[in-house]
Structure 1
Amino acid sequence: MAAERTRKRKRDQEDAIAKIKKGKQTKKKDTKKKKQGSDDEDDEYDDLMDMYKKKKPLPGQLDFCELCNKRFTVTPYSKSGPEGGLICTPCGKEMAKDAKAQQKANKPVVRKARRKIESNRLDGATMRGAKTLQQLCIEKIAKHADDVEEFGDLPDPIMKRLSEIFSKKRAMKPNTMKLFLQPHLDTVAIEEAAYLETEDFDQIFAIVPNIKKLSLRNCCQFKDSTMDYMIEKAKQLTEVQLLGANLVCNDKWIDFFIARGPQLKALKLEWLDAAFDDQAVQALAEFCPHLERLKLERCKRIGVESIDAIARMQHLQHLTLRFCTEIPQERLINMITSVGANLRTLCLENFLDGQNEEPVDFVIEAIHNNCHHLSKLRFTENHECSDASYVSLFSDWNNPPLRYIDLNSTRDLDNVNPDGPDDYPIGLGSAGFTALMKHSASRLEYLDVSSCRHISHETFTSIFDGTKQYPNLREIQLSFCPVVDTQIVATIFRSCPNIKKVVTFGCFEVKDVVVPRGIVLIGAPRAQDQIEQYGDLVLDFQREALGELEKAMMVAAGA
């Protein structure tokens, strides 16, 4: 009987509300143009509605559930039903569950942002299509890094990939770093060590006593005490790479060279501001007689005396230098003359001599005369060597074809005359680029001529004409070469059958390029996104389309 009375009361309320709404709609039609009275009408309607509303029972009282009509005790957490009444706890849970499912169903699909896609391309992750099972597992582990207890016995390549992903996601912390430390390892590589403390670095040498290769980037808390502990525990250490270890004093570096110098074969140091001066480099040359690989970049306290010390390292095979001070060319030439015969890779970045106002080509000449076993050459950010010097370097050079060439930012810096002198171009120009490709095109895999703005459009089109083939070229950097346009990029695709990556930042003439399957084009602001195509028939049709596009552009250029 109580339920029947409740239903009758609800029907009466619904009839009264419907009558009020009908009267209000009729009144609105009569006063359609009188907008000022609308607020008063709404208030009057709300007052009438409140008169027919049933007062909700207070906590502790009994009420009937609006949905299941069961009797329950009201609490402060009792929820309201669809019609304004209260509902019991089980019905409230079901309603909340349904609401959550509905909200999830109505949630729009969040697509991967273009910025994220371009970030992965710049990192080299240009894989298209479905990810491999291995890649999915690695990403899942990185996502739940805090819940992983141990990796177990994983191969070194997978461990390295995991370390890279952990570092990129800023997940390399003291609790996760222990996952990469196992007693049987001989290599520890951490790409992002900014979150690690001094005690964490000590654990590396305590847990991995047989470590031979150590690579730490952004190791801000690597201190003198850590260096002492490394000297004591890591007795088999042969390769060291540290970036940002600014809390190690100069004397500790010398102590390390004295203790581990006879077995040290590789040393790579970057971004050192407070210590590591010429005295440390001299100790390196004296106590590390078997050093084969040396990399010193942006170490602000080293200068001319360090160049003289490096000249005494007769077993060097790989040399990378980037100084923050000006170095006289005669000192640099003396170093190249002394160690150039055994070098396999040579990287000289931003080496300038402020005393010379005219182009001086003696450094390039020293490389030509003394380096005959190079496979990699990087000579960048130079505005003192002329195009003629690069022609002489690659002409009749008694050196096998290079695999890796980086000559970016070798150009004239005169803002008044950006095209350079009329009689000779400064930096890598058309003649030098032609000589480079003639010498090394057969084995060249990586080429960087970014910001070499003295290479003409005719030179690019003659080298990449669609018929000449460069089978080993996989990556080419053409950024800020203003003459590069759609035609040049299209013919690069035809001349380089194994090309994987083309970078064209600042090349605003690159417009609607059809990018073949498996190739990524980065930096073209108006180019199409990467197109993934399947089947040999589609590829043949695409090659024909590229050929027709090239012919049409040549006809338009001739007209």
Structure 2
Amino acid sequence: MLAIAYAIQQDYQQRLADAERRRTEGTENADAEKENENEVDDDSEDPVEKKKRKRKEEKALLKIKQSKEFKRRKAVQELEEGSDVELDDDALARDMMRKAAPLPGQLDNCEICEKRFTVTPYSKTGPEGGLLCGKCSKELKDDEKREAAAKKKRVSAPKARKRQTESDRLMGDVKPGCKSLVDMCVRKVTNVVNDIEEFGDMPQDILDRLSQILSKQRVLTPRVLDLFLRTDVDRIIVYDCGKLETEDFQRIFGTMPHVENVNLRFAGQMKDGPLLYMAEKCKKIRHLQLGATNLVTDDAWVELFDKLGPQLESLKLSELNDSMRDETVEVLAKQCHNLKRLKLRSCSHMSEASINSLRALKSLEHLTLAVAPETSSSTLVELVSSLGPNLQTLCLENFQDLDDTVLEAIKQHCSKLSKLRITGSCLCHDNVFASLFDNDSPFPPLIYADVSENRDIDSMKPDGSDADAIGFGSLALPALLDHSGARLEHLNLKSDRHISHATLLEYFDGVKQYPALKDIDLSFVSAVDDVVVAGIFKSCPELSKLAVFACFNARGARIPRGIAVVGLPNAGDNILQGDYDGI
């Protein structure tokens, strides 16, 4: 303790001497300062105490020399004075020791208010490196809190906008500049929908947009549903009925008896009562789409088809796990003989017999089937042969036994196709896909082509380069683009891993043009890289959306403004601000 007190006294005497010297003589030269630092104030100092002080001083200097701050200051001085000048490490260390912050218990002047205070372990450092008194420390802490809160508030808005931008990107909406006035008003309405009493005479397309956004936000409750129920409109579209109860569906049909178009998705609480009430009350229904109505029985479906079947022009049913058996489908095919559009997805009880029953629907122009995946190829051939001459749209999804004979039947009987979807086949060959689009192809150029997930499941044939290669590959893609490239708007090649890099480069070289192509999906096509993506941007001037999930060689592609690239983690950072010419 005596040594510490003596050191404090020596430090105090030294500071007084320095202050007096600055007042009288001004700035001292380095040699005089060094002499003053080395001289002892008290000649009568005890030799033992002097030896202890020297030893402590040496330890303190050694500790300073080993610190990062000492090395940093030395490096700065070497840069300022030149590497040829030799620096005195002891002088620099003594200077740092003299300017070091006072220890707890010592007195110091506050950097801000210059008030004398006692240093504690909790004394805060000021902006210039000095210590602060308690009052100034508290004020500085309050200022930092206010700045942090203001910064957090400033940053939160861009994060929210970025999240909305990425959401819009997934929907294909990345138009540069501000949103349209209509879109901004629709979004504002959805934010305050619980405070709105009625929508008034809002156009039907705006109501549909509101239903989309509210369904996406999962806020379409019975109270919000009332805003869409109007007697003067002829359609009701609700994309998410997950929060509606059984009585809400009955209220829809009671309020809108003249409805012609009914589209209710995820209607899990719809039962036989509301469905039969709709058949009894709504006599003008021509278009019906229901999703996930698993509480409706087969008897109710049969009664519905008996009452409304002859007038139905469009029927879309999906996610039915407890109904729609073969007998019900047979009634559907018999009663709904005027159907022009039929879509059946994920109906678990449908089998090959149901597919056979659909051959009776001779008026069909649009057919989508994603049911009974075990259906044989011969049954599919008979279906295509029966319905093909009138079909404009044909979608056969994930049929396990779909093979070359089905493709040959499509080529032979489907002469009016504008949309074709063949997915999930591991039996169709590349050359047969190519022959579907050769010079003898009976149908005109396609507008929509989805040939995704057609590949060989044999992992020993990753590129499908054999003469009898399976899947949609390097022979089929050129044939498709040569046949339909001038008119094609949507192209889905997801998981067609047998398409080679050379083929992609040849047909997306920036010279060949596909003027109508707006939407391309190349996800899980490993041959896609930055060069291919750049070629796609140049070959497709109207492109608005490109999906490249798991295309790991395309992460550095530069993206023109106005194109939604989905699947790249850094897509937002690669958007060009100027023109794409020359890239």
Same fold (TM over 0.5): yes
Structure 2 residue 263 is the aligned partner of structure 1 residue 215: yes
Quote the residue 1:112 is aligned against: 159
* Aligned residue runs from structure 1 range 55-70, under 5 A: none
Quote the residue 2:209 is aligned against: 161
CA distance in 1, matches of 2:104, 2:528: 73
Structure 2 residue 396 is the aligned partner of structure 1 residue 348: yes
- Aligned residue type for 2:153: P
Quote the residue 2:324 is aligned against: 276
Quote the residue 2:59 is aligned against: none
Is the CA contact 1:514–1:528 (under 8 Å) kept in the aligned structure 2?
no
Superposed displacement of residue 392, structure 1: 1.3
Match among 391, 397, 401 for residue 441 of structure 2 = 397
Is the CA contact 2:494–2:524 (under 8 Å) kept in the aligned structure 1?
yes
Match among 125, 128, 138 for residue 186 of structure 2 = 138
CA distance in 1, matches of 2:327, 2:319: 17
Is the CA contact 2:176–2:561 (under 8 Å) kept in the aligned structure 1?
no
CA distance in 2, matches of 1:28, 1:167: 66
Match among 86, 102, 105 for residue 28 of structure 1 = 105
**What are structure 2's unaligned runs of at least 5 residues?**
1-101, 108-118, 122-135
Match among 429, 447, 468 for residue 512 of structure 2 = 468
Is the CA contact 2:490–2:517 (under 8 Å) kept in the aligned structure 1?
yes
Match among 404, 409, 414 for residue 366 of structure 1 = 409
Structure 2 residue 235 is the aligned partner of structure 1 residue 187: yes
Number of residue pairs matched?
Answer: 451
Q: Which shows bigger deviation, 505-514 or 185-194? A: 505-514
- Aligned residue type for 2:301: W
- Aligned residue type for 1:251: D
Quote the residue 1:445 is aligned against: 489
CA distance in 2, matches of 1:179, 1:458: 55
Structure 2 residue 535 is the aligned partner of structure 1 residue 491: yes
Is the CA contact 1:510–1:527 (under 8 Å) kept in the aligned structure 2?
no
- Aligned residue type for 1:268: K
CA distance in 2, matches of 1:162, 1:471: 32
Is the CA contact 2:105–2:120 (under 8 Å) kept in the aligned structure 1?
no
Superposed displacement of residue 518, structure 1: 1.6
Aligned residue for 2:153, secondary structure, equals coil
- Aligned residue type for 1:29: Q
Superposed displacement of residue 512, structure 1: 2.2
Quote the residue 1:409 is aligned against: 453
Match among 480, 499, 503 for residue 436 of structure 1 = 480
Q: Which shows bigger deviation, 359-368 or 164-173? A: 359-368
CA distance in 2, matches of 1:389, 1:415: 21
Superposed displacement of residue 108, structure 1: 3.1
Superposed displacement of residue 103, structure 1: 8.6
Aligned residue for 2:315, secondary structure, equals strand
CA distance in 2, matches of 1:343, 1:433: 23
CA distance in 1, matches of 2:565, 2:336: 44
Match among 504, 507, 519 for residue 548 of structure 2 = 504
Q: Give CA-to-partner distance per residue, 1:456-508, whole Å, 9 cap, x none.
A: 11111111111111110111111111111111111111111111111111111
Aligned residue for 1:425, secondary structure, equals coil
**What are structure 1's unaligned runs of at least 5 residues?**
1-24, 31-40, 44-81, 85-97, 354-358, 547-559
Is the CA contact 1:347–1:377 (under 8 Å) kept in the aligned structure 2?
yes
How has the CA–CA distance of structure 1 residues 510 and 157 changed in structure 2, closer, same or farther, with 3 Å as cutoff? same
Quote the residue 1:245 is aligned against: 293
CA distance in 2, matches of 1:310, 1:99: 73
Aligned residue for 1:112, secondary structure, equals helix
Superposed displacement of residue 261, structure 1: 1.1
Superposed displacement of residue 527, structure 1: 5.2
CA distance in 1, matches of 2:504, 2:545: 17
- Aligned residue type for 1:362: T
Superposed displacement of residue 420, structure 1: 4.2
Q: Give CA-to-partner distance per residue, 1:422-460, whole Å, 9 cap, x none.
A: 332111011111111111001000101111111111111
CA distance in 2, matches of 1:325, 1:344: 23
Q: Which shows bigger deviation, 118-127 or 244-253? A: 118-127
Structure 2 residue 463 is the aligned partner of structure 1 residue 419: yes
Match among 416, 419, 423 for residue 376 of structure 1 = 419
Aligned residue for 1:311, secondary structure, equals helix
Q: Give CA-to-partner distance per residue, 1:121-152, whole Å, 9 cap, x none.
A: 11223233212221121111111111110000
How has the CA–CA distance of structure 1 residues 130 and 318 changed in structure 2, closer, same or farther, with 3 Å as cutoff? same
CA distance in 2, matches of 1:42, 1:27: 4
- Aligned residue type for 2:349: R
Structure 2 residue 206 is the aligned partner of structure 1 residue 129: no
Is the CA contact 2:367–2:393 (under 8 Å) kept in the aligned structure 1?
yes
Aligned residue for 2:249, secondary structure, equals helix
Is the CA contact 1:302–1:323 (under 8 Å) kept in the aligned structure 2?
yes
How has the CA–CA distance of structure 1 residues 246 and 307 changed in structure 2, closer, same or farther, with 3 Å as cutoff? same
Quote the residue 2:133 is aligned against: none
CA distance in 2, matches of 1:298, 1:532: 42
Aligned residue for 2:475, secondary structure, equals helix
How has the CA–CA distance of structure 1 residues 136 and 115 changed in structure 2, closer, same or farther, with 3 Å as cutoff? closer
Is the CA contact 1:428–1:452 (under 8 Å) kept in the aligned structure 2?
yes
Aligned residue for 1:430, secondary structure, equals coil
CA distance in 1, matches of 2:450, 2:189: 37
Superposed displacement of residue 521, structure 1: 1.8
Superposed displacement of residue 29, structure 1: 3.1
- Aligned residue type for 1:112: K
CA distance in 2, matches of 1:469, 1:127: 22
Is the CA contact 2:330–2:354 (under 8 Å) kept in the aligned structure 1?
yes
- Aligned residue type for 2:186: I
Q: Which shows bigger deviation, 148-157 or 420-429? A: 420-429
Quote the residue 2:58 is aligned against: none
Is the CA contact 1:512–1:528 (under 8 Å) kept in the aligned structure 2?
no
Is the CA contact 2:452–2:496 (under 8 Å) kept in the aligned structure 1?
yes
Q: Give CA-to-partner distance per residue, 1:302-357, whole Å, 9 cap, x none.
A: 0111111111110000000001440011111000000010001111000112xxxx
How has the CA–CA distance of structure 1 residues 525 and 107 changed in structure 2, closer, same or farther, with 3 Å as cutoff? closer
Aligned residue for 1:331, secondary structure, equals helix
The structure that has the greater radius of gyration is 2
CA distance in 1, matches of 2:103, 2:484: 89
Superposed displacement of residue 526, structure 1: 5.3
CA distance in 1, matches of 2:189, 2:403: 54
Superposed displacement of residue 292, structure 1: 0.7
Superposed displacement of residue 117, structure 1: 3.0
Is the CA contact 1:224–1:247 (under 8 Å) kept in the aligned structure 2?
yes
Aligned residue for 2:491, secondary structure, equals strand
How has the CA–CA distance of structure 1 residues 380 and 253 changed in structure 2, closer, same or farther, with 3 Å as cutoff? same
Match among 535, 558, 561 for residue 514 of structure 1 = 558
CA distance in 1, matches of 2:491, 2:188: 35
- Aligned residue type for 1:397: S
CA distance in 1, matches of 2:103, 2:326: 95
CA distance in 2, matches of 1:518, 1:126: 5
CA distance in 2, matches of 1:26, 1:492: 68
- Aligned residue type for 1:375: S
Aligned residue for 1:128, secondary structure, equals coil
* Aligned residue runs from structure 1 range 277-316, under 5 A: 277-316=325-364
